[in-house]
Amino acid sequence: MIHFNSETRTFNLLLRSSYYAFQVDADGRLIHLGWGPRPQDASGEDQISGKPVFEPYNIPWSFITQFRPDEVLTFGEITSFYPTLKVSFPGLPVPLKEGESPHLPLRDLRLRYAGYEIVTGAKPGLAPAHGLPVRELSPRETLRVRLQDPLQSLYVTLCYRLDPEHDIIERWCELENAGQQPVSFDICCFASLHLPNGTNELTSVSGTWAREFTPQRQRLSQGVQMMESRNLQTGHNSNPFFMLNRPGQAWEESGVVYFGALAYSGAWQIALEQLPTLDIRLHAGYHPFDFQLDLAPGERHVTPALVIGVSLQGWGGASRRLHDFVRRHVLPCPPQDAQWRPVLYNSWEATYFNLSFENQVELARKAASIGVELFCVDDGWFGARRSDTAGLGDWVVSPDVFPGGLELLVDEVHRLGMQFGLWVEPEMVNPDSDLYRLHPDWVLHFPGRPRTTARNQLILDFGRTEVVEHIFSLLDALVERYSIAFFKWDMNRLATEPGSVAGKAIWRRHVEGVYRIMDRLRQQHPGLDIQTCSGGGGRIDLGMFGRTDQAWVSDNTDAFDRVRIQEGFSLAYPACCMEAWVTHEKNHITQRVTPLNLRFDVAMRGALGIGSSLNELSQAELAEYASFIQFYKMIRPVVQAGELYRLERLEEFDASVIEYVLPDGSEAVYSEVLRDHQVGVFRPAALLKGLQSRLVYMVLDRSNTEVYRATGYELMVQGIPPAMLDYPGYSRTLYLRAVQ
Ligand code: DGJ
């Protein structure tokens, strides 16, 4: 619900258990009044009335006014803290006094209230344009508050789209140059947030290739701390989401936690600022490094969204709100959508670049025999791509690999009852490729400078519309010709020489190009699924999930490492889009040998995939794979649609115990993994959540054998008895079903 008190000019946004409020002050500025939990018994009538005249910050005393919590913080007036927007007016026609110099470009911005409206159907910038519905179709209210600079005709509209059920608000800005002169933005955040004093404990993730999503918790110090990506993609080193709470006031399942995530897949920045007053601000949006956003007279720009929310149930509650929000409001949901993510086979770790028709057919037959539903051929199927040194960009089936054409494999995969998928890396080119030989100017580079390759590749210039069009046409033709149901869309290098026909705007134009191709492909082929991958988990965010179905979270498939990576992923993103493979006994990156049940127990926490070299496995091993996959299909609805509880986190006992439970508490999955164990330490039993106390639950193992039976009450107060013998690598997955 959105309320406006016209007397005090106060806005109250009321959600299920939280509120957000701000007020127009006497000078027409928007002043933040508060954001946080509402009392449980509050009704729609209970609102903040605001001040008749907004007093505290009208004191003409700069010590106070410099900390004034404007909803949109602009460079200029009194404050020198970090702004939401910083603008240059290169040729503002200010009325000058005789002999006065214009001091151009004018760089301060003053925004004053110019009205509001409440609408349904408003969308942030770069919202998916593929036309596929999301799961939840009911309209959502958006508050649009219009502000104007009194000197220059620049309008800024702050947008707040409500998802009351999850206590989530999507925030973005619409910028409109209604004047006669161009405007450039030096800093452009999608929104700034004001958090209560002392809310300075930050939960986020950091990492690198093969170590993505490592959870970390730290205290903010005074000043500004950045989380960022200065790349064309979201990045491996950090991910654009955050959780903030007062230290010692929130835990996994209790306390107030503020959270947020960006719906954008390019160069981003989240600036976390602790003021000298200990008030906390957060500014999130485009990375201002090497940034360019110019609006010519009459032009408009709508920023993507910052999704924010409040949890009253700790970090776990924040994750569950985000998960459900993603499942219902973000992920595309084609009308003919199969309900669950299919069990996928991917050939990468089995055959790398040594593809042949024969080895792929053999893999496909074995994959089908163990219950795989989607068969994906990874890198190496096209052009001269027999290694990573050549062929990238030439999206034509290689006759060396498939002398009879790819159709033979596709037909066999279909005959076996599976869908067919292909790996692509559309934004890249090897210099040793037909595409590059034909169009050497189509890559990002600075003319006259050497072109530096990474993984032997260069990046196509998506600032050129003809390049975007060319890539779309090739991919479109592939889907058409080979009945492709799934693309694994990869991106394997960072932009270090971003010279483009689009100038510095390339950072945004690249993302727009990728989104455009994905959206058009999905529009043309509503049955097509896409997996986002960027050398593992380098491009995962809410913008990507608007047009992809799942993510490849890391190239590191070692179950010991993976359990940590997946825990970090689970902070923000749901299990249904977390592709997780079981691979060989000896891991290709870490060289660690792990037992099969551990590999499955970890991979079954997400959308299960298989990446093992099936052609090297015995019949007995294949049969074991088949039995795990059969078990996974039974628990899949709970894993993929259930609510996640992290019952024990790695930071506690080096054990990860998680539970997925259906919202009605009728079924649950209990998954336990021990990374390390100290002799003589008795881990407490993990207490289950979300069950019904009165019901009796049967607990089944993979062989469908009942291993335990207890009431929901017992399971929630005593848990499942821990294993008698703990050891590193111990794991189990149990399925709980209410029987009475
Ligand atoms: C990086 C991906 O993350 C891998 O899974 C694999 O697809 C390779 N690229 C192929 O080159």
The band of 423, judged by pLDDT with boundaries at 50, 70 and 90, is: very high
Tokens of 49: 């009335």
Q: How far apart are CA 143 and CA 120, in angstroms?
A: 9
Indicate if the pLDDT at residue 61 is higher than 80: no
Indicate if the pLDDT at residue 53 is higher than 70: no
Residue 55, pLDDT score: 55
Q: How far apart are CA 534 and CA 494, in angstroms?
A: 10
For ligand 1, atom 2, name the residue with the nearest CA. 535
Cβ 380 under 6 angstroms from ligand 1 = no
User: Which atom of ligand 1 sits closest to the CA of residue 533?
Assistant: 3
Give the pLDDT mean for 158-187. Answer: 96
DSSP state, residue 329:
I
Residue 295, pLDDT score: 97
Indicate if the pLDDT at residue 233 is higher than 60: yes
Q: To test the ligand 1 pocket, which listed residue (212, 346, 347, 348) has its Cβ within 8 A of the most ligand atoms?
A: 348
Cβ 490 under 6 angstroms from ligand 1 = yes
Q: How far apart are CA 328 and CA 681, in angstroms?
A: 42
Q: How far apart are CA 581 and CA 346, in angstroms?
A: 8
Distance 47 CA to ligand 1 centre (A): 52
CA dist 121 → 132, 146, 161, 168, 553 (Å): 15, 17, 9, 17, 32
For ligand 1, atom 6, name the residue with the nearest CA. 348
Place of tokens 């005709």: 153
Q: How far apart are CA 476 and CA 491, in angstroms?
A: 18
Phi, psi (degrees; rounded to nearest 5) at 420: -115, 135
For ligand 1, atom 9, name the residue with the nearest CA. 535
Cβ 535 under 6 angstroms from ligand 1 = yes
Indicate if the pLDDT at residue 329 is higher than 60: yes
Tokens of 121: 């159907």
- Which residues, in sequence order, are CB contacts of 220 under 8 Å at separation 6+? 200, 201, 202, 272, 274, 280
Place of tokens 């002799």: 679
92-106, 249-263, 445-459, range with the lowest pLDDT? 92-106
Percent of the chain with pLDDT over 70: 97
Give the pLDDT mean for 72-99. Answer: 86
User: Which atom of ligand 1 sits closest to the CA of residue 378?
Assistant: 7
Q: What is the CA radius of gyration of the chain?
A: 27
Q: How far apart are CA 740 and CA 728, in angstroms?
A: 36
Q: How far apart are CA 154 and CA 184, in angstroms?
A: 11
Cβ 425 under 6 angstroms from ligand 1 = no
Q: Which pLDDT tens digit goes with each residue over 343-382?
A: 999 999 999 999 999 999 999 999 999 999 999 999 999 9
Residue 388, pLDDT score: 98
Indicate if the pLDDT at residue 102 is higher than 90: no
Cβ 515 under 6 angstroms from ligand 1 = no
Q: How far apart are CA 190 and CA 284, in angstroms?
A: 6
DSSP state, residue 656:
E
- The residue with greater pLDDT, 336 or 487, is 487
Indicate if the pLDDT at residue 540 is higher than 60: yes
The CATH code for residues 344-643 is 3.20.20.70
Distance 710 CA to ligand 1 centre (A): 45
Indicate if the pLDDT at residue 134 is higher than 80: yes
**What fold does the segment set 646-738 form as a domain?**
Immunoglobulin-like (2.60.40)
325-339, 359-373, 572-586, range with the lowest pLDDT? 325-339
Question: Is 502:544 a contact under the CB 8 Å cutoff?
Answer: no
Q: To test the ligand 1 pocket, which listed residue (456, 533, 612) has its Cβ within 8 A of the most ligand atoms?
A: 533
Tokens of 9: 């000019």
Mean pLDDT across the chain: 95
Percent of the chain with pLDDT over 90: 89
Q: How far apart are CA 457 and CA 291, in angstroms?
A: 24
Residue 378, pLDDT score: 98
Give the pLDDT mean for 586-599. Answer: 96
555 is catalytic: yes
The band of 480, judged by pLDDT with boundaries at 50, 70 and 90, is: very high
Distance 535 CA to ligand 1 centre (A): 6
The band of 288, judged by pLDDT with boundaries at 50, 70 and 90, is: very high
Q: How far apart are CA 37 and CA 451, in angstroms?
A: 53
Place of tokens 């039976």: 709
Indicate if the pLDDT at residue 57 is higher than 90: no
Indicate if the pLDDT at residue 94 is higher than 80: no
Q: How far apart are CA 447 and CA 461, in angstroms?
A: 13
490 is catalytic: yes
| CA 665 from centre of chain | 27
Q: To test the ligand 1 pocket, which listed residue (422, 489, 552) has its Cβ within 8 A of the most ligand atoms?
A: 552
Distance 210 CA to ligand 1 centre (A): 11
Indicate if the pLDDT at residue 59 is higher than 60: no
What are the domain boundaries of the chain?
Answer: 79-123+139-330, 344-643, 646-738
Segment holding 435, helix H or strand E: helix 434-438
The band of 682, judged by pLDDT with boundaries at 50, 70 and 90, is: confident
- Which position among 461, 490, 601, 654 bears the catalytic label? 490
Cβ 379 under 6 angstroms from ligand 1 = yes
- Which residues, in sequence order, are CB contacts of 99 under 8 Å at separation 6+? none
Q: To test the ligand 1 pocket, which listed residue (344, 353, 378, 557) has its Cβ within 8 A of the most ligand atoms?
A: 378
* Domain at 79-123+139-330: CATH architecture: Distorted Sandwich (2.70)
Residue whose C-alpha is closest to residue 733's, from 543, 563, 616: 563
For ligand 1, atom 5, name the residue with the nearest CA. 555
Give the pLDDT mean for 393-407. Answer: 97
Q: Which pLDDT tens digit goes with each residue over 659-680?
A: 999 999 999 999 999 998 888 8
Q: How far apart are CA 258 and CA 37, in angstroms?
A: 10
Cβ 381 under 6 angstroms from ligand 1 = no
Indicate if the pLDDT at residue 502 is higher than 70: yes
The band of 339, judged by pLDDT with boundaries at 50, 70 and 90, is: confident
